[in-house]
Amino acid sequence: MLNIIIFGPPGAGKGTQSEGLINKFNLTHLSTGDVFRMNIKQETPLGVLAKNYIDKGELVPDEVTIGMVKNFIIENSNESGFIFDGFPRTIAQGDALDKILAELDLSIDIVLALQVEEDELVRRLLDRGKRSGRKDDQDEETIRNRFKVYQNETEPLLSFYQNQDKLVRVAGMGSVQDIFNRLTSAIETL
């Protein structure tokens, strides 16, 4: 059993690297961003609510996100483990995740934090915006707001997991394969 958090700012490559890690370690993927986007597409009540925040580059409120994650974990708990991608994004979410997992006798094994320079992040996001049609990736102001939110709300989780002795920083620049190799060797030295 291996429970991983893939951590990093918008555009760090969490989704891309998750794909490789899911295949290699047979993990269940939870991308809160993907779940929100699916709900937006299907125009569910959750999607209608989430859209207001996502289009502005704000976070969806904690109680909504945490409730959604809790249901997902309970419904999808499995032998191999989870990879959490885009969650937690606040200290409250990190606390909630620990409690949800503890109730199932589970815990996080490692937090892989991708390190990427900001100019490279903006370049990647604008490029993704052109290809994917994601509205929050098309406007530089929304992107800058997401970085601000990341710095204020999400970055404090680095010390949260450092204090739990679970944080591993991994260079997120270079080829997808090189980054993947760094991530897998961090996991394999566990």
Question: Binding ligand ADP by CB under 6 A: which of 4, 5, 6, 10?
Answer: 10
Max CA distance (Å), the chain: 43
The set of long-range contacts for 35-41, using a CB threshold of 8 Å and a minimum separation of 24, is 35/68, 35/72, 36/60, 37/134
* Of positions 33, 94, 129, 172, contacts ligand ADP by CB under 6 A: 33
Tokens of 97: 């995740």
Nearest residue to ligand ADP on Cβ basis: 33
Q: What does the block give as tokens for 186?
A: 């961090």
Question: For residue 65, which amino acid is it?
Answer: T
Residue identified by tokens 């997808």 is 176
Q: Which two tokens stand for residue 148?
A: 């601000």
Ranges within 51-80 binding ligand ADP (CB under 6 A): 53-54, 57-60, 65
Residue 116 C-beta: closest distance to ligand ADP, Å:
11
| Residues binding ligand ADP: number (CB under 6 A) | 18
User: For ligand ADP, which stretch binds (CB under 6 A), given 40-48, 85-93, 103-111, 179-187?
Assistant: 85-93
Q: Between residues 114 and 188, which has the closer beta carbon with respect to ligand ADP? A: 114
In this complex, which beta carbon is closest to ligand ADP, that of residue 60 or of residue 170? 60
Taking CB under 6 A as the criterion, the residue among 11, 13, 94, 172 binding ligand ADP is 11
Burial of 106 (0-12, 13-18, 19+ CB in 10 A): middle
154 interacts with ligand ADP by CB under 6 A: no
Signed CA dihedral, 127, 128, 133, 139: sign only: negative
Which residue, 148 or 190, has its beta carbon nearer to ligand ADP?
148
Q: Which of 86, 94, 129, 172 binds ligand ADP (CB under 6 A)?
A: 86
Picking from 13, 5, 1, 190, the residue whose alpha carbon sits closest to that of residue 116 is 13
Positions in the binding site for ligand ADP (CB under 6 A): 10-11, 32-33, 36, 53-54, 57-60, 65, 86-87, 89, 93, 136, 146
